[in-house]
């Protein structure tokens, strides 16, 4: 038997069936037309942002990194909740523009920006977080051709990392950002060339559950930013402090202590060096904002036994849930939180593996889990499906195609 990850608090049931946004899972599927289906709860999104804001210093702005989930109705909803957005491509910028988000609320980070993406971002008036001196040169040239002063910030590759983060984006040789010892020279050059100087972006890692590690990193970020502002010789208009706030996916994971992070940050902000006194500060979060608001529903199409082991075969799988299957940057596969949605209140009584419909042994949604007895037609729910699900999975693999997505 292998443990399942913790189901995010609190999912209710109606008549023994999982309810999302006050509605039974089966009803939502019937209305959406079919499974597999991603369901995102507006109520959970709002409550998450509300709780986070209450814990963080009021001066801190919240940005949503849409790579976690760029579903258009979700973007439209988030536009009313957060202060800004971060995109990683021209395609993501276009999605935000289609959702009616003004480009002056958007910053664009990511290596390998093509000229046409730089032009799209500069023309729209979005802030570009520069990843290299070469990219800076191209952005300045494109802006000169367009006859505008581009909004430019520098993404710093700091010498420190976010301890314990699932994915490290700083410290040592990295394709992200500009090594900290070269930032001041570039900053001075951007200002001298007449760009709209937008400050720094220091993103060190993602999926950290240790509040102390985030507190330590935020202190390092503020210290580094103050030093760089002094070296550049200009106050920082903006500082994107990165993010890294994680969510519990696996057995034994515990929720991040955001109150501790907020309190520590409040103290630091009370005592900022002069170069940062007027700086607009933000954090940039993806999964923390949207991950737990999403549930992936798939239907059991077959129940079979092989060598004494029960397999519940669903119509979903890794083509929508690469991360839950353990194939998105995981070394050892562990079970995500999962339940039989149509028997949400039933006691577990058998060991079963929940698999997808792809003919690869990699397609596993739960391995040797303790579950209520489920039959063909039952719905399976994978939790923490609001981030890095639909668009971070190979939906076209084996001709399957994308899952449906709805907001409730």
Ligand X SMILES: Cc1ncc(COP(=O)(O)O)c(C=O)c1O
Task: List residues near ligand X by CB under 6 A.
Answer: 65, 67-68, 86, 109, 167, 169, 203, 206-207, 243, 284-288, 387
Q: Closest Cα to residue 168, out of 220, 110, 207, 201?
A: 207
CB of 266 to ligand X, least distance (A): 21
Judged by CB, which is closer to ligand X: 5, or 26?
Answer: 5
Q: Closest Cα to residue 372, out of 16, 8, 10, 5?
A: 16
Give me the residue whose beta carbon is nearest to ligand X.
286
What backbone torsions phi and psi does residue 385 show, to the nearest 5 degrees? Answer: -100, 5
CB of 177 to ligand X, least distance (A): 9
Judged by CB, which is closer to ligand X: 38, or 344?
Answer: 38
CB of 287 to ligand X, least distance (A): 4
364-371/350-355 β-pairing: antiparallel
In the chain, count of helices (H) and strands (E)? 10, 22
Judged by CB, which is closer to ligand X: 19, or 224?
Answer: 224
Q: Detail the DSSP E strand segments found in 204-268.
A: 205-206, 238-240
**Which residues, including other chains, have CB under 8 Å from residue 213's CB and lie 6 or more apart?**
162, 163, 164, 165
Judged by CB, which is closer to ligand X: 298, or 387?
Answer: 387
Distance of CA 22 to the CA centre of its chain: 25
CB of 248 to ligand X, least distance (A): 13
Q: How far is CA 303 from CA 315, 338, 377, in A?
A: 12, 17, 10
CB of 16 to ligand X, least distance (A): 33
CB of 238 to ligand X, least distance (A): 15
What backbone torsions phi and psi does residue 80 show, to the nearest 5 degrees? Answer: -85, -5
Quick one: tokens of 235? 């106050």
Judged by CB, which is closer to ligand X: 150, or 170?
Answer: 170
Q: Is 292 helix (H, G, I), strand (E, B) or coil?
A: helix
CB of 289 to ligand X, least distance (A): 8
178-179/106-108 β-pairing: unpaired
CB of 168 to ligand X, least distance (A): 10
Measured distance CA(252)–CA(312) in Å, rounded: 25
Judged by CB, which is closer to ligand X: 84, or 326?
Answer: 84
Judged by CB, which is closer to ligand X: 287, or 364?
Answer: 287
Residue carrying the six token digits 């209140």: 345
Judged by CB, which is closer to ligand X: 158, or 275?
Answer: 158
Quick one: tokens of 335? 């079970």
């Amino acid at each position: 038997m292998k443990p399942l990850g913790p189901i995010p608090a609190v999912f209710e049931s109606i008549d023994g069936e999982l309810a999302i946004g006050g509605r039974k899972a089966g009803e939502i599927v019937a209305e959406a037309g079919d499974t597999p289906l991603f369901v995102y709860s507006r109520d959970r999104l709002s409550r998450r942002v509300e709780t986070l804001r209450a814990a963080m210093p009021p001066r801190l702005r919240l940005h949503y990194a849409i790579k976690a989930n760029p579903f258009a109705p979700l973007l439209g909803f988030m536009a009313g909740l957060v202060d800004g957005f971060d995109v990683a491509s021209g395609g993501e910028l276009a999605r935000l523009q289609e959702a009616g988000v003004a480009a002056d609320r958007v910053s664009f980070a990511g290596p390998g920006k093509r000229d046409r993406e730089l032009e799209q971002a500069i023309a729209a008036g979005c802030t570009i977080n520069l990843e290299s001196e070469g990219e800076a040169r191209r952005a300045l040239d494109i802006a000169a051709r367009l006859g505008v002063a581009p909004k430019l910030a520098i993404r710093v590759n700091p010498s420190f990392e976010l301890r314990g983060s699932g994915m490290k984006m700083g410290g040592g040789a990295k394709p992200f950002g500009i090594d900290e010892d070269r930032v001041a020279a570039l900053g001075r050059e951007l200002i001298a060339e007449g760009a709209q100087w937008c400050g720094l972006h220091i993103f060190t890692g993602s999926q950290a559950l240790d509040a102390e590690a985030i507190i330590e990193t935020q202190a390092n970020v503020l210290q580094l930013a103050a030093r760089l502002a002094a070296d550049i010789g200009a106050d920082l208009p903006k500082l994107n402090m990165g993010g890294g706030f994680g969510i519990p996916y696996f057995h034994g994971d515990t929720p991040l202590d955001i109150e501790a992070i907020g309190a520590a940050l409040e103290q630091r902000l009370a005592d900022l060096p002069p170069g940062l006194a007027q700086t607009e500060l933000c954090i940039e979060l993806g999964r923390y904002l949207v991950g737990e608001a999403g549930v992936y529903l798939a239907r059991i199409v077959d129940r079979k036994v092989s060598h004494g082991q029960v397999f519940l075969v669903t119509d979903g799988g890794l083509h929508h849930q690469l991360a839950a299957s353990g194939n998105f940057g995981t070394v050892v596969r562990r079970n995500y939180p999962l339940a039989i949605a149509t028997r949400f209140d039933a006691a577990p009584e058998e060991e079963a593996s929940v698999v997808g419909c792809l003919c690869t042994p990699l397609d596993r949604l739960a391995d040797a889990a303790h579950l209520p007895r489920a039959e063909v037609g039952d719905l399976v729910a994978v939790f923490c499906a609001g981030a890095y699900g639909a668009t971070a999975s190979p939906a076209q693999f084996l001709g399957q195609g994308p899952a449906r997505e709805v907001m409730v």
